[in-house]
Amino acid sequence: MLLFQLQPSFFYNREDIFTWVFMQTGLHKWLLNNKTGCILFDVLFYTTPAIYLLHFRASRRTAYVSAMWMLIVNWAYVQCYTLYPSNSIEGHIAWLLFPLVFIARKDKTFWLLLDGLRYFFLFFFASAGLWKLRQGGAFDHLQMSGVLLYQHSQLLTNSPGYWQSKFIMWLVQHAWVSYILYLLATLVELSFITGFFTKKFDRVLVALFILFLIFDNLVMRIPYYEVLPLLLPLLPGTGKTNSDATLAPEPTI
């Protein structure tokens, strides 16, 4: 993710009230055809976490100021980046939310916010499954064939002899096989609801999500890896610390 690589020359609006207010700053227009501006913003975006780290090491008490700065920079960067022809803002949600946990001034609040991110991630993925039930995709056996044709129309028409095109076309023609794949993905998404009641299966959920990302890349050609940081609160070590959050000692400042 680099603005410099996008070299934006136009933007594409979205239906988001926050984005419309943000667009009043004019930052997204200033970056159009502005190579220097894009490089500066890239440097700012990628050095901000390091600045936070240095600040945290120097003074834990005041590091929240750098964390807030990181939050602002991330928001501005992601807002701009996704207004240009790149990909959806939803896929960058980890960049938007993760800086929040570093704003916490006490260890206990930090762990609780990290736990909050865990719940958010569970909702993020489980809601995708619920939407499939609500909007009907999960009840139409031609759904996955339709999705594959929609998603891969360019690949299938300009590279028909390619192994992936043949594989996708096979799935399209075997509608029930592809529909089962779609249902399995829906079930995987819905299985994240269990995380709201227990942390016992967090490792399984992490494995399922990684599997989902791999299939998303192979079958859908959608690289959705930007959301990977949201797995951190589910990792074994983090989970243990989370559950002990209320017992964690206050930092000695």
Partner 1 sequence: MYLKRLYAANKWWFAIITLFIIIQLAMDIRQDIMLSPVYHYGMYSEVIEPENEYTVNEIAVNGIILQTKDFSPYQWDKISFPVKLFQNQQSWDSFVWNTEVKRLLKLSDSAKYINAITQQEFNEWYRNYLSIMLHTKIDSVNIKPVTYMFNGTTFIKKPG
Looking only at residues 149 through 178 of this chain, which bind partner 1 when binding is defined by CB under 8 A? Answer: 149-150, 153-160, 162, 164-165, 169, 172-173
| Among the residue ranges 35-43, 45-53, 203-211, 220-228, the one whose residues contact partner 1 (CB under 8 A) | 220-228
Least CB distance to partner 1 at residue 111 (A)? 9
Render 96-127 in DSSP notation, one character per residue: HHTHHHHH-SSHHHHHHHHHHHHHHHHHHHHH
Task: Give the span between the Cα atoms of 247 and 194, in whole angstroms.
Answer: 25
By CB under 8 A, is residue 229 in contact with partner 1? no
One of 115, 190, 231, 239 touching partner 1 (CB under 8 A):
115
Task: Give the span between the Cα atoms of 152 and 164, in whole angstroms.
Answer: 10
Question: 36 to 55, contacts with partner 1 by CB under 8 A?
Answer: none
| Among the residue ranges 42-50, 55-63, 126-134, 201-209, the one whose residues contact partner 1 (CB under 8 A) | 126-134
| Among the residue ranges 46-54, 110-118, 198-206, 229-237, the one whose residues contact partner 1 (CB under 8 A) | 110-118
By CB under 8 A, is residue 137 in contact with partner 1? yes
Q: Which of 92, 70, 68 is nearest to 19 (CA)?
A: 92
| Phi, psi (deg, nearest 5) at residue 224 | -110, 30
Q: How many CB atoms lie within 10 A of CB 14?
A: 12
Least CB distance to partner 1 at residue 77 (A)? 13
Task: Give the span between the Cα atoms of 237 and 203, in whole angstroms.
Answer: 11
- Tokens for 109, please give them: 């609040």
Question: 54 to 93, contacts with partner 1 by CB under 8 A?
Answer: 75, 79, 85-87, 89-90, 93
Rounded CA Rg of the chain: 21
| Among the residue ranges 41-49, 60-68, 118-126, 233-241, the one whose residues contact partner 1 (CB under 8 A) | 118-126
